[in-house]
Amino acid sequence: MRGRVDEIAIGLLSFLRKSRERSYAIPKLAEKFSTRPRFINQALRGLVVWGYKFEFDNTSKVRFVSAPDSIFPHEIEHYLKTKFIGRNIISHFSVPSTNSLAFSLAEDGAPEGTLVIAEKQTSGRGRLGRRWHSSPKKGLWTSLILKPPFPPAELPGLSIVAATALAETIISKLELDAKVKWPNDCLIDGYKVAGILTEISAELDKANFVIVGTGININHTTKDFPPAFRRRATSLKIETGGRIDRVRFLADFLLEFEKTYIQFKRHGLKPLLPRIKKLSSLLGKQVRLKKGNKTILAKAVDIGVDGALLVRRRKETLRVTAGEVTVV
């Protein structure tokens, strides 16, 4: 669909789904949208091609039935309640990596809050140079462009902010016991359900922008993960036992993220620390830290105001700002 018919289709969709119990005659809809019945029919046909379902009764009145499981911008906007996060949406079927695309859009001046999303990534990237497996239409592969007014040293806290907001969304909306494995993994029962990759463009004393890339396993079955990941990964569907509405979940997460991010921008990480510590899967545990070829065994005791993990080894407290941490 193109141009005016596209516009009619989006308006028509929003109108019909708001009153989904009622059927409307095509001429009445044409009158409402100040167009001809033939354009209403064209718009409806286009929506059907996109995967929307409608019911036509024997007098040719039409009623909205259901939406497809797709990440169309207008579908996300239908559920979105944020002020600026996700208010500019770039949605693709396939990209190499949403983080890479978001990075170049940010370099070209895309506004704060821009959401880049794809059904599939062909070279999805994880932390520490790993690949991120992103099966088509199973998960949410997203990147947000953010422009926090902080020096680069304070930005690593953003990964924890995003992971915390995500874990809280999983807990409040799906009643699952989600945890955050410092600094940026979301776990359920020890299995990884989501990962966050934060990338920064900065000068010495000022960040130009930050990309927060989030990969959430949503409707995967165990077989959808590559064999090597099956023992460590899970999805929201596996944990709840039912299919999850991806777009609705995304809108819930973006709202939670926005609220937390606004607080972070105003007051830094400090007021968020009680929430962050409550969700931590590491605090109080013996952990193994890997940095380069060094491995250290220590006890995770706290998270600092800069987001660093504090660990205790013998009588010494160490600040960990990067690397791989696992519970022993």
Q: Which residues bind ligand BTN (CB under 6 A)?
A: 97-99, 121, 124-127, 130, 132, 134, 141-143, 185, 195-197, 213-215
Is 12 exposed, middle or buried, given 0-12, 13-18 or 19+ CB atoms closer than 10 A?
A: buried
29 or 252: CB nearest ligand BTN:
252
Helix 3-18 vs helix 37-50: crossing angle, to nearest 10:
80
CA distance linking residue 182 with residue 287, whole number of Å? 11
At residue 157, the 3 state secondary structure works out as helix
The minimum distance between CB 270 and ligand BTN, in angstroms, equals 25
Q: Distance (Å, rounded) from C-alpha 190 to C-alpha 180?
A: 10
Considering beta carbons, is residue 145 or 196 the nearer one to ligand BTN? 196
* Residue number, nearest CB to ligand BTN: 195
Q: How far is the CB of 300 from ligand BTN (least distance, A)?
A: 19
Which residue, 75 or 119, is less far from ligand BTN as judged by CB? 119
Q: Whole-angstrom Cα distance, residue 3 to residue 122?
A: 30
Q: Which is nearer to ligand BTN, 156 or 215 (CB)?
A: 215
Q: How many CA atoms lie within 13 A of 271 on its CB side?
A: 10
Kindly tell me which of 114 and 142 has the beta carbon lying closer to ligand BTN: 142
Distance CA 275, CA 161 (A): 10
Minimum CB separation from ligand BTN for residue 323, in Å?
Answer: 13
The sign one gets for the Cα dihedral 292, 293, 296, 300 is positive
In the bound complex, what is the minimum distance in angstroms from residue 19's beta carbon to ligand BTN? Answer: 36
Of 36 and 290, the one with the shorter C-beta distance to ligand BTN is 290
State the minimum distance, in angstroms, from the CB of residue 313 to ligand BTN. 26
In whole angstroms, how close is the CB of 151 to ligand BTN at the nearest point?
24
**What is the phi-psi region of residue 25: left when phi exceeds 0, alpha when psi lies from -120 to 50, beta otherwise?**
beta
Contacts of range 66-74, beta carbons closer than 8 Å, 24 or more positions apart: 67/17, 69/137, 69/245, 69/246, 69/247, 70/119, 70/247, 71/117, 71/118, 71/119, 71/140, 71/246, 71/247, 71/250, 74/10, 74/13, 74/14
Strand 191-202 versus strand 53-56 pairing type: unpaired
Q: How far is the CB of 269 from ligand BTN (least distance, A)?
A: 20
Q: How far is the CB of 324 from ligand BTN (least distance, A)?
A: 10
As a whole number of angstroms, the distance between CA 226 and CA 198 comes to 24
The smaller minimum CB distance to ligand BTN, of residues 233 and 238, is found at 233
Residue 142's nearest CA partner among 166, 118, 121 is: 118
Smaller CB separation from ligand BTN, 29 or 213: 213
Minimum CB–partner distance for residue 97 and ligand BTN (Å): 3
Closest to ligand BTN by CB, 91 or 97: 97
Question: Nearest to residue 249, comparing CAs of 101, 92, 69?
Answer: 69
SS3 300: strand
